[in-house]
Amino acid sequence: MSNDPLTIGMLGYRFMGKAHSNALERLPMFFPEAPEVERDVLIGRDEEAVAEAADRFGFDRTSTDWEEVVDEVDVFYNLGPNAIHADPSIAALEAGASVFCEKPLAHTLEDAERMRDAARNAEGTAGIAFNYRFIPAVQYAKNLIDAGELGEIHHVRGQYLQDWLADPSSPWSWRNDEEVAGSGALGDLGAHTLDLARFLVGEQAGDLTRLSGQLQTFVDERPVPGEDGGTLSSGGGDSTETREVTVDDAYSAQAEFENGAMGTFEASRFATGHKNDHNIVINGSKGSLRFSVERLNEIELLTEDDRGFQTILVTEEDDPYIDRWWPAGHIIGWEHTFVHENYEFLTAVAEGEDHTPSFEDGYRVQELLEAIERSDERGEWVDVS
């Protein structure tokens, strides 16, 4: 293993670019044994905007063309829209770099398959950013489930509820475009829930084998935002230019696990009053647990001899990752999940090992997303490929 810093190239500088750059900044302070990194190049189409972001995020230089720099870095972070996950990631892997890609793995199953195959044949490490796996309370819950504390798994219920598109006047964005995003709430939110379910109960219940899905779009077109943040006028009085919404606003699915357990999943961007309510409930023969990202330092647990649920604050020093942060009871936040996953991924890169969740995991989730869409189109239960 080389002692030289890992050079980082990062495609994307908005929401996820900020989250991962913050994680890279925090790593040396709280995980001093983490591999040293050099934030080399930040990549984006808008030269002025990417230069401003590079100054804030601590990158040495910028580029407006990923093809010019993808073979110049040790680690390539692909944080762009879903439709540009495949080609840059594959090119980076073929150039010998390790790749960390935001979820979902791609905007189509075919592109996800290409990425999975490229990772299988690559020398570098490939990982996908399912950051909710790295919440201490989620890791604590997985340890309980794997230890058999809940017994045989019977039910898995997962929801991811937001309301940022509930207002029909909320502006159109690339997340409303099937050609760029692939899907709406299904891929953006459902990918997280399906991966979390597989992560938590996979050892006990097996994988998802068949399902029945439904997709719904509530608003068919949205106003186009202008450069000043307002909406573009078409010049016809009070009328506003709009664009068609070509993805789902919500999905639901019934599913079956290998052991016969039932899965119930849904996500919505129209769940009024819910900002980032990602929750999961697991019922077993000996107990149950509940978890919500909006209370991410806690799990609610019922075990065999309990009369009711107890709330467990997962902030003790021996809880996963907590010894790196604050004394017991001093809670951590959403941004810390990115620190944890970057630590695990970059450590795997430095040691030349595989990372979990991998592109294989991302592909498996993509199969589930495709199966839900296929079920909705056919109006029937379908087997997962």
pLDDT of residue 216: 98
**Mean pLDDT across the chain, nearest whole number?**
95
Answer whether residue 230 shows pLDDT above 70. Answer: no
Answer whether residue 237 shows pLDDT above 50. Answer: no
Quote the pTM value.
0.94
**Could you tell me which of 356, 338, 373, 348 has the C-alpha nearest to residue 135?**
338
pLDDT tens column, 181-229: 999 999 999 999 999 999 999 999 999 999 999 999 999 999 998 765 5
CA angle, 252 then 189 then 74, to 5°:
145
pLDDT of residue 25: 97
pLDDT of residue 211: 98
Give CA separation, 323 vs 175, 337, 338, in Å.
Answer: 37, 14, 16
pLDDT tens column, 50-89: 999 999 999 999 999 999 999 999 999 999 999 999 999 9
Per-residue confidence at 231, pLDDT binned at 50, 70, 90?
low
How many residues does this entry show for the chain?
A: 385
- In sequence order, what are the residues at sequence separation of 6 or more whose Cβ sits closer than 8 angstroms to the Cβ of residue 296? 135, 137, 332, 333, 334
pLDDT of residue 226: 74
